[in-house]
């Protein structure tokens, strides 16, 4: 990603984005963070991850078709889990998305089960609870917002240290916080309705879904989805900048 010319790289906050699947990068989330003056550093897990989070003011853990301890297929998960534990310990601004959220749960002592519970594909209403309405990020969704889902694994038990922030009609654990600045979301704020065009139509048909219908439903609420997703990312960017400014001042 390029750096806006109005601020030197050395003075900009930095966010590490762990990419767990080569086809699933930061997308519009990366664009919005860049627009907010934050340097985005995407790293594909299979190509290696940093030893520590030193020099980073925030962390994003993206999704992927894995379980949090699927070491045979994804040996880099050992390193990703270590970074997640470091972020939790430091209360670093962190956003875990889908697999990333499940990994945070597993690291912190909760439970994730493979191919368990209802599948959620496409646009899904996410309902923010009372705790979520008091959270700097989830409150940006309003009472309810349509977000893109694409999962079949499920967070079944949150860690003792986690606070539930939002649910869908089918899945309780849609968003949570650990500490003040670590959040996990089962949905995908980085994914826009147009991105559904790349989804595997044959695989969806095998599960009883109609790809065209999923796309049409997502497009109907695309404006609301984009607004809510951008607001959530903007709130995350605020926390990253605050962390950076504190580190510089310290």
Residue 4 lies in a domain: no
Q: Residue 48 falls within a domain, yes or no?
A: yes
Look up the pTM and report it.
0.94
DSSP letter, residue 123? E
**How many domains are contained in the chain?**
1
CATH number at residue 122: 3.40.50.880
Is 108 domain-assigned?
yes
User: With contact defined as beta carbons under 8 Å apart, do 19 and 59 qualify?
Assistant: no
Beta bridge partners of 133: none
In a domain, 3, yes or no: no
Residue 232 lies in a domain: yes
Q: Say if 235 falls within a structural domain.
A: yes
One digit per residue, pLDDT tens: the chain, 250 residues?
A: 333 334 444 589 999 999 999 888 999 999 999 999 999 999 999 999 999 999 999 999 999 999 999 999 999 999 999 999 999 999 999 999 999 999 999 999 999 999 999 999 999 999 999 999 999 999 999 999 999 999 999 999 999 999 999 999 999 999 999 999 999 999 999 999 999 999 998 899 999 999 999 999 999 999 999 999 999 999 999 999 999 998 888 7
Q: What is the largest CA-CA distance in the chain?
A: 55
Q: Is residue 1 part of a domain?
A: no
Specify if 2 maps to a domain: no
pLDDT tens digits, one per residue of 131-150: 999 999 999 999 999 999 99
d(CA 216, CA 222): 10
Catalytic residues: 98, 188, 190
Question: Would you state the structure tokens that stand for residue 35, as one six-digit string?
Answer: 């627009």
Give the torsion sign (CA, 5, 10, 11, 16): positive
Provide the residue range defining the domain that includes 29: 9-249
- Give the alpha-carbon dihedral of 244, 93, 69, 98, to 10 degrees: -130
**3-class secondary structure, 24:** coil
């Amino acid at each position: 990603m390029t750096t806006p010319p109005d601020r030197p790289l050395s003075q900009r906050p930095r966010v590490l984005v762990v990419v767990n699947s080569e086809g699933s990068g930061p997308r519009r989330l990366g664009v919005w963070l860049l627009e907010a003056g934050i340097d985005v550093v995407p790293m594909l897990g299979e190509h290696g991850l940093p030893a520590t989070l030193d020099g980073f003011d925030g962390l994003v853990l993206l999704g992927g078709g894995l379980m949090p301890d699927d070491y045979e297929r994804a040996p880099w998960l050992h390193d990703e889990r270590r970074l997640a534990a470091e972020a939790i310990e430091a209360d670093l601004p962190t956003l875990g998305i889908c697999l990333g959220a499940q990994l945070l749960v597993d690291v912190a002592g909760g439970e994730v089960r493979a191919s368990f519970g209802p599948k959620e594909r496409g646009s899904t209403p996410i309902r923010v609870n009372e705790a979520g309405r008091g959270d700097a990020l989830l409150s940006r969704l309003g009472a309810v917002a349509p977000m893109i889902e694409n999962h079949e694994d499920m967070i079944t038990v949150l860690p003792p240290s986690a606070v539930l922030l939002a649910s869908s009609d089918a899945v309780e654990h849609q968003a949570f916080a650990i500490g003040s600045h670590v959040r996990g979301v089962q949905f995908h704020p980085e994914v826009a309705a147009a991105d559904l065009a790349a989804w595997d139509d044959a695989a969806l048909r095998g599960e009883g879904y109609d790809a065209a219908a999923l796309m049409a439903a997502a497009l109907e609420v695309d404006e609301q989805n984009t607004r809510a997703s951008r607001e959530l990312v903007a709130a995350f960017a605020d926390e990253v900048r605050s962390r950076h400014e504190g580190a510089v001042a310290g």
